[in-house]
A and B are shown apart, each in its own frame.
Chain A
Amino acid sequence: MNNTHVVGISDMKLSTNPGDVIVTYSLGSCLGVTVYDPKARIGGMVHCLLPTAAAAKEKARANPFMFVNTGVAMTVRRLVDLGADKNRLVFKAAGGANMRKDRIFDTGVRNFNALMKLLERNGRLLTAKDVGGTIPRTLFLYLDTGRVVVRSLGKESDL
């Protein structure tokens, strides 16, 4: 049976069923990251609230998916456990918006920078992104092809 898995805030879902879809709604400053192995056709999506676990260490122990650095790493680990090949994984990201003219908190920018730092440290590339600005985003991952779609203000676009 094909299912739609909804990823909440500070949450991660993965699937090995090519008929499944993973979606996360209402990305504001949070960062949604999809991780997909095109040969094994398995993948996951994580919805991270904050850049690093340094913000709240006890929360990271309870829920690593709250943070970009621990959340994305844990998603990769779970996918590899399910049979994904680390070297084939395709990373895409959406979200990371900021309040208009905000240079005080910059949470969206900090979230995206945390992802780039993590990928760089591991010698991996970000294949596509739709980040920044002031718009809310919904992110879809289709497990059959690895297609990633971003919906915002009623419009959809492939990532």
Chain B
Amino acid sequence: MSRRDEILLACEKVVAMPTCVRKAGALLDGPETDLARLSRIIEHDPGLTANLLKVVNASDLASDRPVLTAREALDVLRSPEVLRFFISTGVAPYYVHVIAGYDQAPSQFLQHSTTVAIASRELAAALKLDAPGHVYTAGLLSGIGKLLLGAYVQVDLRQILHMVFDEGMAFDRAEDRMLGINHAELGGIVLERWGLPDALTRVVCHHLRPDEYEGRDVVLDLVHVGNVLAKMIGVGLGADGLNYEVSPSVVERLGVTSAILDRVSAEVVVELQSLWDLFLECSDDFCNL
């Protein structure tokens, strides 16, 4: 069996993305827990958002059209009681360790994912694009494959870094060479298996190499540059660092300049400051088992 097949088989058994125990616990707090608080916890957390979208899209409640954002999912569930029922059925059952391989603490993964999401959305605003509402969710979920691939990357990290630094290969291409799959593709495949809408899974799958996607999708373009911006800002960087490539054709298509990127960076950093309490809840102290 190839490494790729082995990884895909192992990921078939994954029924929920891991998340921070403290935050997950907050979702199941007493009856006084209000929807606004739950909503804030879920919509800035990639693991919880993925799990919620999986549960809601598989239910009868969302039968008329796919649910693309955590907020929509919460609207569908309507009351705290129904939400709590759904959460207890598989939204928040796991803890998360350090993301092995990428050398990211859980809080770093969370910070980075949130930064990609905010950057993608702010970029759309700066470019005055009428982007669909799921640009935030797509950005938030884009790196989720790291939660699954990390253990495999850890085993081969030395060789992957050798390919990156000595052979001049982008990190995702080194993952491909070593493991037969990269974290973007794996994230996309697993979310697709879970029944998440194509509008999200294609962005997750192609966000590192948007030129390999045959169609045109402004959300994909925005998340590609949003991910670049998040890595340059540096929030929650892992061992993969800035070892990814920027697509010149996406940059040209969106009309992004360094001046626009600078302005968006400043906006993102200011916005992140209002979310540090969420990141602190997911610090190492609380997440170690």
Q: Mark A25-36, 1 if CB is under 8 A from B, else 0.
A: 011111000000
Q: Which of B233, B235, B242 contacts A98 (CB 8 A)?
A: B242
Q: Among residues 1 to 40 in chain A, which have CB atoms less than 8 Å away from a CB atom of chain B?
A: 9-10, 26-30
Which B residues are in CB contact (< 8 Å) with A154?
Answer: 103
Chain B contact residues: over half helix, strand or loop, or mixed? Answer: helix
Is B5's CB within 8 Å of the partner chain A? no
B61 is an interface residue with CB less than 8 A from chain A: no
Tier of interface size on chain A: 20 to 34
Q: A55-B263, A56-B263 are in contact. Are A9 and B234 (CB under 8 A)?
A: yes
**Which residues of A does B touch, CB under 8 Å?**
9-10, 26-30, 49-50, 55-56, 59, 66, 95, 97-102, 104-108, 110, 134-136, 153-154
Shortest Cβ gap from B43 to chain A (Å): 22
Is residue B266 within 8 Å, beta carbon to beta carbon, of the partner chain? yes
Kindly list chain B residues whose C-beta atoms are within 8 Å of the C-beta of A56.
262-263, 266-267
- Could you list which residues of chain B lie within 8 angstroms of chain A, going by C-beta atoms? 103, 108, 161, 170, 228, 231-239, 241-246, 248, 251, 258-259, 261-263, 265-267, 269-270, 272
Partner of A29, one of B233, B243, B246: B233
Sample of 5 further A-B pairs with CB below 8 A, known A26-B235, A28-B241: A26-B237, A55-B263, A104-B248, A136-B237, A153-B161
- Chain B residue, CB-CB nearest to A106: B258
**Chain A, residue nearest B171 (CB):** A100
Main secondary structure of the interface of A (DSSP, over half): loop
The smallest C-beta distance from A100 to any residue of chain B, in angstroms, reads 5
Cα A55 to Cα B246 with chains together (Å): 21
Q: Chain A: which residue is nearest B261 at the CB level?
A: A105
Give the residue among B228, B231, B236, B266 with the most A Cβ atoms within 10 A: B266
